[in-house]
């Protein structure tokens, strides 16, 4: 596609429920990233996929968070048993590759509110 597409754009859920957030990267981009942006805070790295390599999960805050990617296509970020502190905007980005200091193209984000 023309840009990085994320869905849903807004999600309101109750504490304890599971949520899935979807990211459709730019066609041909081999690298895909998830970041979290809490109100008034900088972007926090969550997870990164590069081609068929094992993902870098070093930023995932707890085992309630997981992500998958199908080949070099769609990715899904899953948050299980959501907590109020999970409320944030979840941003997905993609890039042509991860070599060098590569430029990330971001989606508009999925805003998650946990009541």
Partner 1 sequence: EDQVTQSPEALRLQEGESSSLNCSYTVSGLRGLFWYRQDPGKGPEFLFTLYSAGEEKEKERLKATLTKKESFLHITAPKPEDSATYLCAVMNYGGSQGNLIFGKGTKLSVKP
Report if residue 59 touches partner 1, rule: CB under 8 A.
yes
| CA 78/CA 5 separation, integer angstroms | 17
Nearest residue (CB) to partner 1, 28 versus 42: 42
| CA 17/CA 1 separation, integer angstroms | 31
Nearest residue (CB) to partner 1, 20 versus 56: 56
Residues near partner 1 (CB under 8 A), total: 31
* Terminal C-alpha separation, the chain: 33
Query: Residue 58 half-sphere exposure, CB side, CA atoms within 13 Å?
Result: 1
* The one among 28, 41, 63, 84 contacting partner 1 by CB under 8 A: 41
Q: Which residues bind partner 1 (CB under 8 A)?
A: 4, 31, 33, 35, 40-45, 47-50, 56, 58-59, 91, 93, 98-109
């Amino acid at each position: 596609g023309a840009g990085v597409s994320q869905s849903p754009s807004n999600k309101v859920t109750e504490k304890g429920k599971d949520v899935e957030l979807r990211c459709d990267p730019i066609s041909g981009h081999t690298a895909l990233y998830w970041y979290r942006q809490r109100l008034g805070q900088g972007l926090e790295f969550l997870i990164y996929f590069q081609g068929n390599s094992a993902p870098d999960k070093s930023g995932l805050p707890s085992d309630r968070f997981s992500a998958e990617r199908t080949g070099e296509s769609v990715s899904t970020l899953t948050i299980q048993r959501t907590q109020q502190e999970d409320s944030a905007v979840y941003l997905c980005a993609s890039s042509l590759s991860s070599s060098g200091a590569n430029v990330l193209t971001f989606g508009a984000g999925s805003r998650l509110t946990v009541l």
